Amino acid sequence: MQYSNLVNHGLVQTLDRLCGSTVNTYSHKSKCADLNDALDWYFSIGFKSGLNWEFDDINQTSPPIDTQTLSSITHDGLASNVYKFSAFTEKIINLIMLEVLTSSGMGLHLIPETVDNFGNVWGVTSGQLYGVVGSFYDRYVNAPTGTPTHYVKYGDFIYLNAKPTSTVSNGLRAYFNRPASKFTFVSCQPETDDDLITATAHGLTTNDTVIFEVDSSGTMSTGITADQQYYVIASGLTTNVFRVSTTLGGSTINITTDGTNVHFLKTNKEPGINSMHHPALVRKAALTNLNFIKSPNFQLTMAQSVQDERMIAEYFAGRDKDVVKRLTPIYQNNE
């Protein structure tokens, strides 16, 4: 289901039918917020129930991998084996795996440790302790120079257990879970002289559909009607500008005033989840509005949403059974 589809009901049309609402009583910005909250709910179920299957939004165009430069010298005021977690440019919900690359390009998987590991005793041999993990200071703060084999994530920092011997561009590689691709209003500036609408890297293509809104302090451009669906046309379309028409492949609308604080939303976008779960997403999103208006449908929709959650969890738990189970190494005394 697309965000909005005037022929085959989209997410917002289904929301209106369920809530008995219109755009005047339940605005697009409120619907966006509720659908985005529902996406977070859906993703949390996927991450918890997915087992070996690493769930991702199907709208994403690149894999959930991000990198930093692996440094052999101090950087950003940090030691060469310490890296800011938030310096990754992607939004990371959960770190799945961390690797480093050698100067020859070989990838090395890093074994995670936690601060709970330090000072633990693994066993005794002939009356003597063995397998004692050293202090965090000795292993990570005062790390030797060499090839990292382990890491600790502590606060917003990643510590490697060795200071790299060479600087490698994109040499620290994170594999992770990331949040959903949300429905987002994008700032734009309609222009009167050529009827172009400027929005940096807008990502729109010919025949995409959009609606326009202004914030509370803005004024809508004359020639554009808020909440009306428009079609992106090929004329003038570039990376940073586009034109729209009231009909598919039609003529450009005439913009006679620039307007201020105008935003657009791509309405033919679908949520990046399995299509059979789109109705569940709508029911979850509707709960906020149904509760607000004290609708008698609230309790029924809540019960349905609880069933939806079980159904979604079972779906993720049963996916990709051909994935090999992860192995957990068992350390033992071989003497």
Q: Find out whether 173 and 69 touch, Cβ atoms under 8 Å.
A: no
In the 8-state DSSP scheme, what is residue 73?
A: S
Backbone angles phi, psi at 256, to 5 degrees: -105, -15
Give me 305's structure tokens. Answer: 């949403």
> How is the chain split among helix, strand and coil, in percent rounded to 5?
25, 25, 50
Cα 119 from Cα 36, distance rounded (Å): 44
Q: What are phi and psi of 203, to 5 degrees?
A: 75, 10
Helix and strand numbers (H, E) in the chain are 5, 16
Q: Tell me: the pLDDT tens digits for 289-314?
A: 999 999 999 999 999 999 999 999 99
CA atoms of 57 and 308, how far apart (whole Å): 19
Contact 120, 139 (CB under 8 A): no
Read off the pLDDT of residues 161-174 as tens digits, 9 standing for 90 and up: 999 999 999 999 99
Six-digit token string for 260? 């201020």
Confidence (pLDDT) at 55: 86
C-beta atoms surrounding 44 within 10 Å: 13
CB 62 within 8 A of CB 55: no
Phi-psi group of 258: left, alpha or beta (phi > 0 → left; psi -120 to 50 → alpha; rest → beta): alpha
For residue 208, give Cα distances in angstroms to 70, 182, 266.
41, 17, 7
Task: Walk along the chain (335 residues) and give the pLDDT tens digit of each residue.
Answer: 999 998 889 999 999 999 999 999 999 999 999 999 999 999 999 988 876 667 899 999 999 999 999 999 999 899 999 999 999 999 998 899 999 999 898 999 999 998 877 766 656 656 665 555 678 888 899 999 999 999 999 999 999 999 999 999 999 999 999 999 999 999 999 999 899 999 999 999 999 999 999 998 899 999 999 999 999 999 999 999 999 999 999 999 999 999 999 999 999 999 999 999 999 999 999 999 999 999 999 999 999 999 999 999 999 888 766 655 555 555 555 54
φ, ψ for residue 329, nearest 5 deg: -65, 140
C-alpha distances in angstroms, 158 versus 66, 79, 85, 161?
14, 11, 6, 10
pLDDT at residue number 242: 98
Say if residues 264 and 197 touch (Cβ distance below 8 Å).
yes
In angstroms, the CA 164 to CA 147 distance is: 6
Three-state SS annotation for 271-328 = CCCCHHHHHHHHHHHHHHHHHHCCCCHHHHHHHHHHHHHHHHHHHHHCCCCCCCCCCC
SS3 313: helix
